[in-house]
Structure 1
Amino acid sequence: MDAGVFVSRNEAEATSFGSALELYAKEVTSKKRSSVSELSRINALQRHPLALRSLASIRGSDMANYRDTRLREGLAHSTVRRELALISHVFTIARKEWRMESLSNPVELIRQPSVDDSRERRILSADVWTLKDTKLVCEHLDELEMIRRHSRSPELPKIMTFATETAMRRSEITSLLRINVNLEKRVALLPMTKNGSARGVPLTSKAVAVLSSLAERDDGRCFKSRPDSVTKAFADAITDARNAYTEGLTLHLKQKKLTQDKIDKQISDDTYLMDLRFHDLRHEATSRLAEIFPLHELTKITGHQDTRMLMRYYHPKIEDLAKKLK
């Protein structure tokens, strides 16, 4: 104390983790664009037994136990990492801004769950068998066209086309304002994106056609749908499309005199319309645009801040790369 290096632990010992979470929600989370999802995580943490403990008493072993328990409960590794990142930032803010300089960050002492959430899902094509006038008819359709045909939402097919033409995120599409679109210059402006910056998106002729077909709305938005409704409509359309696909394929295989076991095996191994998410349309669009633009220009279109992040979305077909070789 005489030397001036003593740091009091009184504040950290008198403040519970639950109180710190409450203060963090008020001072930090409320100012974030992703406040809704983070508030949900904070509410869950406040119901955890750790919330009753003082900040000074929480150790790395407590965080390791928390990590292992959450993983055993079946949570995804990426979800647990986000929870740990939130806890870590609470301790960082407490040490830097709430006069708790003696406080150590227990999350820094443990291993983070490994996460590899990159996807290589591209849009597939297949022979689709449909029954028309008691006769099986075959069409070669890609998954997007099949989903469009079975969409219960009249707007979903237009949103899907727009997504694959622009590589825009679901939230960016549904929040797009008509005032920020210049159809003559074929540009859409996004004033605020996920990474906190604005960007302009060049529009293809198909994207312009989609926007031109939309009726003007009182709220100024281009599309009526909200993000959650797009996700639900897309999932419903995939379910209906997959059921129709397997029904037609089953009839076709029965005509070929295959046994039921072989039919079931072939259908279970068929990946058409399986494990497809709306966000995969952004992957598909990015891979298509990469055939036109070099990567440094592509980052400006997709909004990725560096090419390393972009490479998670860029998945060219090897056969297409082979065609470029002499």
Structure 2
Amino acid sequence: MATFEQRESGYWQAKIRRKGHPTQSRTFATKKDAEAWARDVESKMDRSVFVDMREAEEMTLHAALDRYEREVTVTKRGKDVEAYRIAAWQAQKLACKSLAALRGSDFAAYRDARLKAGVAASTVQIELALVSHLFTTARREWGMEGLQNPLSAVRKPVAANARDRSFIDDEEARLLAACAPQARTAGKFAGGAQSQFLRPAVEFALATAMRQGEIADLLWENVDLQNRVARLPLTKNGSARAVPLSSAAVAILRALKEGSSDDGSNVKPLPKGPVFRTSANALKIGFIRAVKRARAMYEKECAERREHPDPRMLVDLHFHDLCNPIKMLRIASIPIFRMFDDTQHFYCGVLMKNRVGLTGSN
């Protein structure tokens, strides 16, 4: 039965107590509104269709993201990267709203603002997918059965992720020079990389076509230098694979194992554990900074020679692009089905594209 009480502030509180249901209460500006709400809730209770929305109305997106990180994100392989995305979401104004108050229009506005700011469509897709899965988890596992996912009807940006970027001219040499470690000067590493493992990691990627995360996760226990193979127990696609090691790849690993790298810097050898003592995120950031350093040096040299810099040189270069040269060279002589095993592509589109680009045949 519903009861109504006027508070000192003048607002009316409606309270419903019914056997088999948790107590429901809400405050309204007028008694008429309170009575209308009570009739609606009691009607749903009579028809056994009432769903308690109090938790969804009380929990903010910020708090929900905290819980999602504790319970869901920690189980993912990419938990470190997702933690950064969660922190970015929590800094948004939307994070102050309750889950029940969020609407599709809120996220549509967020999408448009991010795209207008120049953020890649694929990045916006991932950001929206994170919150969408949060709503799905809250509905299925957190007892918020009445909560609707406002992102289910929001149009997702179309991403064109296909890349065929390869090195031009002396781009590779310039990049490797910028990846070499540099001693700290006046508290900065302006002349080179902070990590002594960045250049070996980049060279290893060029020699093996391994992904950034696979290189960061590679353990000495999974490296067989005698048989020239590196075993990856778990890859991006969820399966294990063995990567054949070229002479260049073996030389890089031997140098690291013996305690020195090609650039002369000393690296304390470890009998086991990570081969490249760095994280995937550190590799990503270090690579981005190295590309910027190399581009700045290239522009400086062009200015000294009074030449116009090539707008393509050391621009739009990603770590994943390091896979392209080795794939193209190997595709020319290795059957396509063997390349599926080595690179773990689920689709032949990328491999066939490189084959056509190299041989000019169909």
Name the TM-score class by shorter chain: 0.7 to 0.9
Match of 2:87 in 1: 43
Tell me what 1:275 maps to: 316
**C-alpha deviations, 1:61-102, integer Å up to 9, x for none?**
222122223333443322221211111011100111112222
Alpha-carbon distance, 1:231 to partner: 4.8
Measure, in 2, the Cα distance between the counterparts of 1:94 and 1:191.
32
**8 Å Cα contact 1:13/1:57 also seen in 2:** yes
Task: Write the distance in 1 (CA, Å) between the matches of 2:286 and 2:53.
Answer: 53
Deviation at residue 17 of structure 1 after TM alignment? 2.3
Aligned residue number for residue 140 of structure 2 = 96
1:285 matched to 2:326? The reply is: yes
Alignment-derived partner of residue 52 in structure 1: 96
* Residue of structure 1 in register with 2:274 after alignment: 221
- Alpha-carbon distance in 2 for matches of 1:226, 1:6: 49
C-alpha root-mean-square deviation of aligned residues, in Å? 3.2
220-229 or 88-97: bigger deviation = 220-229
Residues 159, 111 of structure 1: CA spacing in aligned structure 2 closer, same or farther, 3 A cutoff? same
Go from structure 1 to structure 2 and tell me whether the alpha carbon gap of 1:313 and 1:61 turns closer, same or farther (over 3 Å shift). Answer: farther
Structure 1 unaligned spans of 5+: 126-141, 255-259
The answer (yes or no) to whether the contact 2:221–2:272 under 8 Å persists in 1 is no
Mark the CA change 1:22 to 1:230 in structure 2 (over 3 Å): closer, same or farther: closer
2:133 alignment partner AA = H
Structure 1 residues 4 and 300, CA gap change in structure 2 (3 angstroms): farther
CA pair 39-121 structure 1, distance change in 2 beyond 3 A: same
Match in the other structure for 1:172? 214
Contact 1:286 1:314 (8 Å CA) reproduced: no
Shift of 1:226: 5.1
Residue 9 of structure 1 pairs with residue 53 of structure 2: yes
| Partners of 1:156 and 1:11 in 2: CA distance | 47
TM-score (norm. length: structure 2): 0.69
TM-score by length of 1: 0.75
Distance, in Å, in 2 between the alignment partners of 1:15 and 1:229 is: 34
**CA-CA distance at 1:281 after TM superposition:** 0.7
Match of 2:114 among 41, 53, 70: 70
Structure 1 position 200 matched with structure 2 position 237: no
Report SS of the residue matched to 1:111: coil
In the TM superposition, what is the alpha-carbon distance from 1:33 to its structure 2 partner? 2.1
Any conservation in 2 of the 1:119–1:313 contact (CA below 8 Å)?
Answer: no
Structure 1 residues 189 and 103 mapped into 2: Cα distance closer, same or farther (>3 Å)? same
Alpha-carbon distance in 2 for matches of 1:47, 1:13? 20
Number of paired residues?
A: 293
Displacement after TM superposition at 1:106 (Å): 0.7
> What is the aligned partner in structure 2 of residue 311 from structure 1?
349
1:5-58 deviation digits (Å, cap 9, x = unpaired) = 443333333333222222212111122222222222222323333223222222
Larger deviation: 63-72 or 7-16? 7-16
Cα distance between partner residues in 1 of 2:313 and 2:137:
48
**Counterpart mapping for 1:184-263 below 5 A:** 184-214=226-256, 215=258, 216-217=269-270, 220-224=273-277, 227=280, 230-231=283-284, 234=287, 238=291, 263=307
Q: In the alignment, which residue of structure 1 is the partner of 2:172?
A: 144
Where in structure 2 are there 5+ consecutive unaligned residues? 1-44, 182-195, 259-268
Q: Which has the higher contact order (CA 8 A, sep 6+)?
A: 1
Residue in 1 aligned with 2:263?
Answer: none
Contact 1:21 1:90 in 2 (8 A): yes
Kindly, what percent of the aligned residue pairs are identical? 40
**Relative to 1, partners in 2 of residues 1:115 and 1:319: Cα closer, same or farther, differing over 3 Å?**
closer
Question: Does the CA contact (< 8 Å) of 1:121 and 1:276 recur in 2?
Answer: yes
Change (3 A) 1:12 1:164: same
Contact 1:234–1:278 under 8 Å retained in 2: yes
Distance of 1:319 and 1:30 partners within structure 2: 41
Instruction: For 2:290 and 2:97, locate their aligned partners in 1 and report how far apart those are by CA, in whole Å.
Output: 48
